[in-house]
Structure 1
């Protein structure tokens, strides 16, 4: 898969790509498309193309998201390979925690990782509190190349932002900080109120509904602008539907996905 990103410097553009795609630096190659030098009153700009390695292709959509979109019973929540969060079960207890949450705690941290994790948690907490919002942060999950951070706050809806843009911005910042700590190989995933899995479920449902619509109309449908991670969900969901295809259109980070009936091109 190929994506395009921009940044003020090459490093910033690469950091944006890694954070948005949820990949480690060694899981994609970079091709510089354009470099503009900055001046006294002008910011520099680097535009690059990212080629994702074949062995780093996105995992299938989580069972919970696919089940809800298809109207089937939702399976026991878990983290998939991409490190997306556990969805809240309908049978949650009075405290709002899923049943069995204690048995799904984050795995023990590797030796020597405690100090790094403490710095990451402190960075997130300090950043949010400087924005004027009290919060608590904790480790949500640990994987080989991913670390999940849970953000709890009475102002979660504000911190998440419209379509998760505030959460994405905070996630980008913490990944840049992790790189400065020498952990460019590790991706930090921040979630709050299980937003990531809820957003995925909504996008899977949107993908199937869009496919049905273009089948009925024998035409195409252009969806709202999305970041690379969200577009990837649409592409992956509809990848195996033989008479429907998808393609990204537009420039910059937030492109649109067009869903079209294959016969529409003839």
Structure 2
């Protein structure tokens, strides 16, 4: 079993570097985020993200280990199927996805990948499929609930965004094409969307009254989209995204 540690500006970059170095796909390794890294002013005091990536054991070793400890978790994502023999029965409740075979497959693979990651991380939580919060959500939405689920949010949702990136990355690899999905933890994203939309409306009111532009705080793409949507019907202000990377934000202008 081979283990390496790699670094990057973000956990996602570090994971991609490790996969390139090992020459394997994400479903052939175990991933441990050692550090999410830290930004710094002009690079001063910044720390890179660090991940530890371990190649899964071979089939012979896995068989021997399973015999000695039958409760041991599977070594790769491909070995794990939370639906077992009654997979079709479990999906009878997902009526909204039965009409589209491709979407149904994304749901199955997404559930498989997310449940496996949580299991390997030692997180005690359940995964549910739920209705999108807004009509703008793309793909299936997975809700995580449980005693340990709060650990998956992180500061300002950074851990949750990293988890969603990894899940989307692994599901896309399994599906053979880019796949859209959303991961949420006990309604955190809904509360965040509501907060962002309310902030946008308050600031828009000030912009309209004062006649000058006001920038909002930097936000990830999905939250910036909520700002644009919240103010799309207003005739007195307009929105524009500005900046790059983690510093990209929405600026509200008077019309």
For the superposition of Structure 1 and Structure 2, which TM-score range results when normalised by the shorter chain?
A: 0.5 to 0.7
Q: Which runs of 5+ in 1 are unaligned?
A: 1-6, 13-104
Q: Match for residue 219 of structure 2?
A: 226
Residue 245 of structure 2 aligns to a residue whose secondary structure is coil
Q: Which has the higher helix share?
A: 2
- Tell me, yes or no, if structure 1 residue 137 matches structure 2 residue 137: no
The CA distance in 2 between the partners of 1:114 and 1:237, in whole Å, is: 30
2:252 counterpart of 1:259: yes
Paired position in structure 2 for 1:169:
162
Q: Verify the 8 A CA contact 2:193 2:226 in the aligned structure 1.
A: yes
Q: TM-score, normalised by structure 2?
A: 0.54
Larger RCO (CA under 8 A, 6+ residues apart): 1
- CA distance in 1: counterparts of 2:253 and 2:105, whole angstroms: 49
Query: Residues 135 and 154 of structure 1 are in contact (CA less than 8 Å); yes or no, is this contact kept in structure 2?
Result: yes
Aligned mates of 1:236, 1:114 — CA distance in 2 = 28
> Contact 1:228 / 1:253 at 8 angstroms: preserved in 2?
no
CA contact (8 A) 1:136 1:153 kept: yes
Q: Which runs of 5+ in 2 are unaligned?
A: 1-11, 18-92
Deviation at 1:117, TM superposition (A): 4.2
* TM-score normalised over the length of structure 1: 0.52
**Aligned residue number for residue 84 of structure 2:** none
In 2: Cα distance, 1:108 partner to 1:212 partner: 38
Match of 2:151 among 151, 158, 161: 158
Quote the Cα distance in structure 2 between the aligned partners of 1:193 and 1:236: 23
Q: Distance in 1 between matches of 2:103 and 2:214?
A: 46
Rg comparison, structure with higher value: 2
Q: Deviations over 1:221-246 (max 9, x none)?
A: 11111111111111122122222122
State the number of aligned residues.
162
Computed over aligned residues only, the root mean square deviation of the Cα atoms, in angstroms, reads: 3.2
**Post-superposition CA distance 1:90-136 (Å, at most 9, x none):** xxxxxxxxxxxxxxx63265469877644432321232233342111
Q: Deviations over 1:35-88 (max 9, x none)?
A: xxxxxxxxxxxxxxxxxxxxxxxxxxxxxxxxxxxxxxxxxxxxxxxxxxxxxx
Matches within 5 A, 1:44-55: none
Match of 1:178 in 2: 171
Contact kept, 8 Å, 2:243 with 2:249, in 1: the verdict is yes
With over 3 angstroms needed to count, the CA separation of the structure-2 counterparts of 1:216 and 1:116, relative to structure 1, is closer
Pick closer, same or farther for the CA change 1:126–1:258 going to 2, 3 Å.
same
The equivalent of 1:120 in structure 2 is 110
How far apart, in 2, do the equivalents of 1:241 and 1:112 lie? 37
Query: SS of 1:248's equivalent?
Result: strand
Match of 1:33 in 2: none
Decide whether aligned partners of structure 1 residues 113 and 198 sit closer, same or farther in structure 2, where only a CA change above 3 A counts.
closer
Deviations along 1:17-46, one digit per CA (max 9) or x if unpaired, are: xxxxxxxxxxxxxxxxxxxxxxxxxxxxxx
Q: In 2, Cα distance between the equivalents of 1:238 and 1:113?
A: 31
Structure 1 CA distance, aligned partners of 2:204 and 2:186? 29
1:218 deviates by 2.3
Whole-Å Cα distance in 1 between the matches of residues 94 and 201 of structure 2?
33
